[in-house]
Structure 1
Amino acid sequence: MNQSVIKALKLLDLFTEEIQEFSLREIAMRSDLPKPTAYRLLTSLVECGFLQKTRDNEQGSSYRLGLKLLELGNLVSNQLEIREIALPYMGDLAQDINEVIHIVVANQNEATYIEKVDSTRAIRLYTRIGKSSPFYIGSGPKLLLAFMEKDRQERIIGQDELYTMEDHRIIDKVVLKKELKRIKQEGYAYSIGEQDLETTGISYPLYDYSGKVIAALTVSGLSSHFEGENLQVIRQKTQITAEKISEKLGYQAIKV
């Protein structure tokens, strides 16, 4: 473990609702660190936005929690809200179509699966909450990438090389960009065998009150279940469920 990182993060635990600001001397004393070490760690936390300096003069420096923590807290709060609201609808959909249902969100440079409702099939996908995937692999991650801000999308696609998960082939970025454009136009994503062989995924966007795509509702299962009329049924019911969840999140679709 990186002891410097651990020591720096432990400094954040000093701040409470009762005591929201400390001087450098107080932080060094409470953390049992030499003053120069405490100052070095605090400087790094200030640079990253986790702390802010409220005083810096001949009497010394003072610190309080920074806005970066508020930003991260809002992200966690949003994810908890999505899970709480979506879970009953996911359960109904899983019971109806008997496939695995996930909620996928953007998490820095990856897509993360934050909720799951399993199927009752004897042979099913063994995925887990907390699993992460590159944005360019799988229907859920790709849907998030398609609806992402253009500059962020370009940074992700602009990496040196992108590789498939199963056979580690280089992904054609021109083809990927065309697929992302189609996903955004058609409003859903579809993938076959990208994360696991012989599996299919279908994803629809979840919108918040401002009309921003904040997650993907993803249905996954063996590809043999996603054929013919059954495929159309799964698509239709997944779309309807995504729309219901979005409405609960405050989204109001424009009626035409």
Structure 2
Amino acid sequence: MNKTVVKTMEMLKLFIDRERLTLQEMVELLQMPKTSVYRMAQSLVKLGFLQKTDDYYQLGLAFLSFGMLVAERLDLRKIALPVMERLKEDTKEAVNLVIRDGNEAIYIEKVDTSEPVRVYTKVGRRAPLYAGACPRVLLTFMDRDEQQRYIDNVKMVKIAKNTIVRRDTLRAIIEQDRKRQYTVSYSELEDYSAAVAVPIFNHEGNVVAGLSIAGPEHRFSPEAVQRMVPMLQQAAWQISEQLGFPRKG
């Protein structure tokens, strides 16, 4: 393993049992040169993983953000899975759950259909936010300024036969989908596959995930999609409510 990373972890672990430490105390505990310990500590302060008050170092607020994200994502999977299983039974199609990770969507849970013809998606799969219904639902309901920056700067690459590669087309589709509150895709991530997706909200009203039904194109006619959307929205509301989002109406 990388020695610098290992030493950094050793420094951070000192604070598991100690609320705060001076530079000299860290030097004695780590058995490292004072200059090395100082450089590491200052780097961690700049990154927000440590904070310094007077002569003492303690854990920084960056850990609070990471901890909240990990807890939220673990809770999300636990809450979503039984709802996803019921949705699969109702629709007979695969159900996927994605979250945003930087400029990508990552699939964190799935329930496969029992149909012989299906679309396979692995947990851990990544996709750009502009491609496919489930990743794009995260982009569609993103903060407007952040959304604009993403669209202006992302390199749009053709992945399958219908992948959107024009920024003006992407903007138009996002506006349409934001109004109707769901996204649909045909052959954007894989040829002959289709998906319809809706957002999942947390207690602050922010979109934290996308929920989708996916399968072969021939089973996703406009009529079929219209039948699926209410079931998908109901499932997403059930998950959102358990995350603390107040239901309207």
Conserved in 1, the CA contact under 8 Å of 2:198 and 2:210? yes
Q: Pairwise mapping of residues 46-65 of structure 1 onto structure 2 (< 5 A)?
A: 46-56=45-55, 62-65=56-59
Structure 2 length-normalised TM: 0.91
Letter in 2 for 1:75: L
CA distance in 1, matches of 2:119, 2:31: 49
Conserved in 2, the CA contact under 8 Å of 1:204 and 1:217? yes
Seq. identity, %? 35
Conserved in 2, the CA contact under 8 Å of 1:206 and 1:242? yes
Once the two structures are TM-superposed, the CA of residue 160 in structure 1 deviates from its matched residue by 5.7
Shift of the 126–34 alpha-carbon distance from structure 1 to 2, 3 Å rule, reads: farther
CA distance in 2, matches of 1:248, 1:107: 22
The answer for the alignment partner of 1:139 in structure 2 is: 133
Shift of the 127–185 alpha-carbon distance from structure 1 to 2, 3 Å rule, reads: same
1:123 to 2:117 alignment: yes
Conserved in 1, the CA contact under 8 Å of 2:131 and 2:163? no
Q: Is the deviation greater in 180-189 or in 25-34?
A: 25-34
Conserved in 1, the CA contact under 8 Å of 2:161 and 2:188? no
The answer for the alignment partner of 2:169 in structure 1 is: 175
Once the two structures are TM-superposed, the CA of residue 200 in structure 1 deviates from its matched residue by 0.6
CA distance in 1, matches of 2:234, 2:208: 17
Conserved in 2, the CA contact under 8 Å of 1:137 and 1:194? yes
Q: Pairwise mapping of residues 130-209 of structure 1 onto structure 2 (< 5 A)?
A: 130-159=124-153, 161-166=155-160, 171-209=165-203
1:213 to 2:212 alignment: no
> What is the DSSP-based 3-state SS (H/G/I as helix, E as strand, rest coil) of the residue aligned with 1:33?
coil
Q: Pairwise mapping of residues 27-106 of structure 1 onto structure 2 (< 5 A)?
A: 27-56=26-55, 62-106=56-100
> What is the DSSP-based 3-state SS (H/G/I as helix, E as strand, rest coil) of the residue aligned with 2:245?
coil
Shift of the 9–162 alpha-carbon distance from structure 1 to 2, 3 Å rule, reads: farther
Aligned length: 249
Structure 1 length-normalised TM: 0.88
The answer for the alignment partner of 1:59 in structure 2 is: none
Conserved in 2, the CA contact under 8 Å of 1:161 and 1:170? no
The answer for the alignment partner of 1:25 in structure 2 is: 24
Once the two structures are TM-superposed, the CA of residue 6 in structure 1 deviates from its matched residue by 4.0
Once the two structures are TM-superposed, the CA of residue 228 in structure 1 deviates from its matched residue by 5.1
Letter in 1 for 2:124: G
> What is the DSSP-based 3-state SS (H/G/I as helix, E as strand, rest coil) of the residue aligned with 2:178?
helix
Letter in 2 for 1:46: V
5+ residue gaps, structure 1, are 57-61
CA distance in 2, matches of 1:122, 1:216: 25
Q: Is the deviation greater in 207-216 or in 85-94?
A: 207-216
The answer for the alignment partner of 2:101 in structure 1 is: 107
CA distance in 2, matches of 1:182, 1:168: 18
The answer for the alignment partner of 1:250 in structure 2 is: 244
Once the two structures are TM-superposed, the CA of residue 107 in structure 1 deviates from its matched residue by 1.8
Shift of the 170–185 alpha-carbon distance from structure 1 to 2, 3 Å rule, reads: closer
Q: CA RMSD in A?
A: 2.1
Letter in 1 for 2:45: V
The answer for the alignment partner of 1:15 in structure 2 is: 15
> What is the DSSP-based 3-state SS (H/G/I as helix, E as strand, rest coil) of the residue aligned with 2:120?
coil
CA distance in 2, matches of 1:235, 1:55: 57
Q: Is the deviation greater in 41-50 or in 104-113?
A: 104-113
CA distance in 2, matches of 1:162, 1:2: 34
Once the two structures are TM-superposed, the CA of residue 172 in structure 1 deviates from its matched residue by 0.9
